[in-house]
Copies of this chain bind each other. A is one copy, B any other.
Amino acid sequence: MSAISLDELNAADQQAFVEALGNIYEHAPWVAEAAARKRPFRTLAALTEALQEAVQAAPEAQQHALITGHPDLADRAVRLQTLTVDSRREQSRAGLDRLSDEEFERFQRLNEAYRARFKFPFIICVRRHTKDSILREFERRSHNDVTSERSAALREISRIAQLRLDQHVKGPDRLKVHGRISTHVLDTLNGRPAAGVAIELGIVCEVGMRQVIARAMTNADGRTDRPLIAEEPVPIGCYELRFAIGAYFAAQRLTLPDPAFLDVVLVRFSVAEAEGHYHVPLLTTPWSYTTYRGS
User: Which A residues have a C-beta under 8 Å from some C-beta of B?
Assistant: 184, 186, 188-193, 221-222, 236-238, 257-266, 268-270, 272-273, 283, 285-295
Contact = CB atoms under 8 A, between A and B. Distances in A.
Contacts of A292: 186, 188, 191, 283, 287-289
User: Closest 3 CB pairs between A and B?
Assistant: A191-B287, A288-B292, A257-B272
A289 B287 contact: no
Contacts of A268: 262-266
A124 B113 CA distance: 59
Contacts of A283: 288, 290, 292
A288 B188 contact: yes
Which residue, of A184, A238, A270, has the highest number of chain B Cβ atoms within 10 A? A270
A288 B295 contact: no
B295 A186 contact: yes
A268 to B, nearest CB: 6
A291 to B, nearest CB: 6
B263 A294 contact: no
Contacts of A238: 259, 263
A272 B259 contact: yes
Which residue, of A259, A269, A272, has the highest number of chain B Cβ atoms within 10 A? A259
Contacts of A188: 188, 285, 287-288, 292-293
Contacts of A272: 257-261
A192 to B, nearest CB: 7
B273 A269 contact: no
B266 A270 contact: no
Which residue, of A184, A288, A291, has the highest number of chain B Cβ atoms within 10 A? A288
A196 to B, nearest CB: 14
Given A191-B293, A257-B270, A264-B268, 4 more contacts: A257-B273, A260-B272, A261-B270, A263-B270
A270 B265 contact: no
Nearest to A190: B287
A59 to B, nearest CB: 35
Nearest to A222: B295
Given A268-B265, A290-B283, A295 B257 contact: no
B290 A290 contact: yes
A295 B259 contact: no
A268 B264 CA distance: 7
A270 B257 CA distance: 9
Contacts of A189: 189, 285, 287
Contacts of A293: 188, 191-192, 261, 287-288
Contacts of A259: 236-238, 270, 272
